[in-house]
Chain A
């Protein structure tokens, strides 16, 4: 049977508990009188299909609900992960400071070339903000990671964040494939082209 997609990326959401990580992926709508079966049992992962540059990409997205302490997350959890969303809550200073611990944990346990992105969530709660956007941006720059503020509640930037992460993984993969195909040592023209397309991605 022929495959109906071009790429398959496994993504993880990590960050302290209570940062709304779960909402980035899951909605858990629950009213006061009824409970849904799904909210009772909890969600394991989701499959989503997106299209980038006319290529069909399957995303398998996992949440870390229930194992938020970074010490408990080790190699097994990261296995096969190609992208990681690091999520903090802009109304919670501690969750922001812990991003550094998460980054260390990833460096220790995840594959070295895993693509990362930092999300400052709950930007719909401006009145309770404790972490300025600038600090988020600076942390991202220090670590060479992309950054976005999101509001899972208002669905603001959430889809864009997943697209950006997927686009970066795809670019990295394409580059790798290209290098495998062309073992020549020096190819100035090609390198130049790659840099350009990456810059283009950054703007998007």
Chain B
């Protein structure tokens, strides 16, 4: 559902936890150690974002703007959706290829380093050791 929540950011850093009720479509993508069984790639150009066995599945309620916006739409008023499941890494350099956009509020969104489609994920400058890639916005393939 389209909504707008970039302009009314909360004061609190959103929390994340291990995703327990794993949806069926993700079950086959997790190894026994909770890490990703397959590589994480850009769903558009297949650029490699994360290698397999590098990220953990977590739950985090997060607003992500849609990649396509109306022309002349201000970034703060971007339309988007709230998503919940993410691949989580704790070191920026775990990424093979990724781009970071400029900060909005306290947030930096992640994009594909090659075709620049995004946001594919997010990090919060108040929690600079946590990087999240949306399971809905990438492709799982080796």
Interface residues in chain A, defined as those with a beta carbon under 8 Å from any beta carbon in chain B:
1, 3-5, 8, 26-29, 33-49, 58
Return chain B residues, CB-CB under 8 Å to A26: 99, 116
Contact partners of A1 in chain B: CB under 8 A: 91
- Which one, B10-18, B19-27, B28-36, B61-69, is touching chain A? B61-69
Q: Which residues of A contact B69 (CB under 8 A)?
A: 34-37, 40
**B121: which A residues are within 8 A, CB to CB?**
none
Report Cα–Cα, A4/B48, bound state, in Å.
15
Distance of A29 Cα from B98 Cα, bound (Å): 17
Is there contact, CB below 8 Å, between B75 and A37?
yes
| Shortest Cβ gap from A34 to chain B (Å) | 5
By a CB distance below 8 angstroms, the chain A residues around B98 are 46-47
Cα A40 to Cα B66 with chains together (Å) = 12
B67-A38 in contact (CB<8A): yes
Distance in angstroms between the alpha carbons of A27 and B113 in the assembled complex = 10
Quote the shortest CB–CB distance from A103 to chain B (angstroms): 28
B79-132 contacts to A, CB under 8 A, are 91-104, 108-109, 111, 113, 115-119
- Which residues of the other chain, A, contact B100 by a CB distance below 8 angstroms? 43-47
Once the chains are docked, how many angstroms separate the CA of A36 from the CA of B75?
10
Q: How far, in whole Å, are A58 and B94 apart by their CA atoms in the complex?
A: 9
**Cβ-defined partner of A37 (8 Å) among B54, B72, B93, B118:** B118
